[in-house]
Amino acid sequence: MKKCMTFVFTILLLIIFSSPGSAKTLRWAFQGDAQALDPHVLNETFTLGLLGNIYEGLVRRSPELKIIPALATDWKVEEPTRWRFKLRKGVTFHNGNSFTADDVVFSFLRSNKDGSDLKKCMATVKDVVKVDDHTVDFITTTPNPILTAEWATCFIMDKEWSEKHGSENPTSVTEGKENYSTRNANGTGAFMVVSRETDVKTVMKPNPNWWDSPKHNLTEVIFTPIGSDATRVAALLSGEIDMMYPVPVQDIQRVNSNAGTSVMKGPELRTIFLSFDQNRDELLYSNIKGKNPFKDIRVREAFFRAINIDAIKRKVMRGLSTPSALMISPKLFAHSNSFSRLSYDLSKAKELLSEAGYPNGFEVGMDCPNNRYVNDEAICQATVSMLAKIGIKVNLLAQPKALYFKKVLNPSLDTSFFLLGWTPGSFDSWNVLWNLHGCYDKDKGRGVFNLGQYCNPQVDSLTDKILVETDSGKRDNLIKKAYELTVGEIAYIPLHQQGLAWGKKDSIDLKQRADNQFMIYHVRVN
């Protein structure tokens, strides 16, 4: 009888603790998938945001985007070019291996190897030195007052695990290469990967040995990429998923009016922009042979003046955007109001094209993602229509981000004209000037996202001075001078900062970050 009662009691416990009320599963969706689980192969916001729940860096960002300790407990500048970091003790990777200084040295050096898209982690670092098991020194080429600002997504891998599985080196996803770490993960973060089917589903569970005190109450996380806007919204409204983003601007009211769901809106720091190949002597995907029209500033200005940004804001973005004159959010640069966009002027645009020798326009290809940014393909379609008014025939190729990035990123740079978005990881202009405006330098990692290969040595010189300048007033003036050059040369066509729109069940509490990274460890299911 006693054994029988014990058995019944056990069954009751199992029922209680496996009931929907106790099992807190989060089901969420995004418009695309992470491109890999390797934290060093792609500097892309969504990929790094997802991995930030699995891997950790020496530092991380709070919901308010402040730099706070993570795998490092504290740090200080020992000398102008030597930073010392004290590492958190008692931390283990998901497989049980201990976290030590060897992992830090290994990870930072790995991030700087061929195949890595995260060379920014070592942009000003000359050497990484193990002092002891829980102390690491970073030797920089110059004083760098914003060193840690770039490191929130410089994630630490397990040296032993990586070597065991032949993943000592990153393999570029843009080149279609893979190794074990492409589809498998072993971090120190709040969540562990249980299973993954690329472009289908990723299942995670809480790390029971996480060093931090969990603020979430989740027992399982199921992520599903859903490319179709209509399908993604329908899944939220029907209750199949608990959270999704982005909510298409045209569906915001629909989600808000549905019982039990709502949209979280807020500003985003990302700048959406257009750019063009300014390097090749002959433009790809064009009917112009033997030369490159985009090398002529008059052509670039004509393209800029043909873009009706107010129409894009009104018709495509439904008001959920802020037109920009710079390649950085006004919230991140004090002198942004000193700059203004070139006015929309079709007559002037046609005049400029004629002066440049293209009175009848010309033909050019355009690359665009269709599942990366808010209404990205619709923005590109609007651009095609606008440029047609000045005689430019644009052949649009819109495709999923996995194919898009493989085509346009280094080393192929297989593009003539394209749309892209950028959030500076440091929330600072140096990041923009280094990554987007810098003359391409593979070894240094400068200009790796400067896909149009714009190059002005004066800008690079100013960028180097900006990095080491500690006086905020002097630094802002240097930044202003750099932007005056890039704006004057029409290096890019900035469009806008898109607004955030996250859809969720009302029973879900979460933190919306202005960098559009979704940190699952802040989620609570009520």
Q: What is the DSSP letter of 148?
A: G
Q: pLDDT per residue over 488-498, tens digit each?
A: 999 999 999 99
Output the DSSP codes for 469-499: ---HHHHHHHHHHHHHHHHHTT--EEEEEEE
* d(C-alpha 85, C-alpha 135), whole Å: 6
Query: Would you say residue 176 has pLDDT above 90?
Result: no
> How high is the pLDDT of residue 174?
76
Please report the pLDDT score of residue 22 as a whole number. Answer: 63
Average pLDDT, the chain: 93
Q: What pLDDT was estimated at residue 173?
A: 80
Question: What contacts 15, CB < 8 A, 6 or more positions away?
Answer: none
- Every domain range in the chain assigned CATH 3.40.190.10: 25-217+507-525
Q: What is the number of other CB atoms lying within 10 angstroms of the CB of residue 117?
A: 26
More confident residue, 412 or 13: 412
In 400-517, the DSSP E strands lie at: 417-422, 493-505, 508-509
State yes or no: pLDDT of 394 exceeds 80. yes
d(CA 52, CA 34): 12
What is the rounded CA–CA span in Å between residue 60 and residue 376?
29
pLDDT for the residue numbered 523: 97
- What's the pLDDT at 443? 79
Q: Is residue 402 scored above 70 in pLDDT?
A: yes
Read off the pLDDT band of 16 (50, 70, 90).
Answer: very low
What average pLDDT score do residues 153-172 get? 97
The answer to whether 253 and 502 have CB atoms below 8 angstroms apart is no
With a cut of 70, say whether residue 15 has pLDDT above it.
Answer: no
Which tens digit of pLDDT belongs to each residue from 422-473? 999 899 999 999 999 999 987 788 998 999 999 999 999 999 999 999 899 9
Q: 90-133, pLDDT tens digit by residue? A: 999 999 999 999 999 999 999 999 999 999 899 889 999 999 99
pLDDT band for position 12 (50/70/90)? very low
Q: What percent of the chain has pLDDT over 70?
A: 96
- pLDDT given for residue 13 in this prediction: 35
DSSP structural state of residue 230: H
Rounded distance, CA 520 to CA 216, Å?
A: 8
Q: Which fold has domain 268-499?
A: Dipeptide-binding Protein; domain 3 (3.10.105)
pTM over the 0.75 mark:
yes
Please give the distance of CA 218 from its chain centroid, rounded to a whole number.
25
Residue 8 pLDDT = 39
Structure tokens at 261: 């769901």
CATH H-level superfamily of 25-217+507-525:
Periplasmic binding protein-like II (3.40.190.10)
| Residue partners of 74: CB distance under 8 A and separation at least 6 | 85, 86
With cut-offs at 50, 70 and 90, classify the pLDDT of residue 6. very low
Query: 43 falls in which pLDDT band (50, 70, 90)?
Result: very high
* Distance of alpha carbon 217 from alpha carbon 495, whole angstroms: 40
Token pair for residue 307? 């873009």
Domain with CATH 3.10.105.10 in the chain: 268-499
Higher-pLDDT residue of 292 and 7 is 292
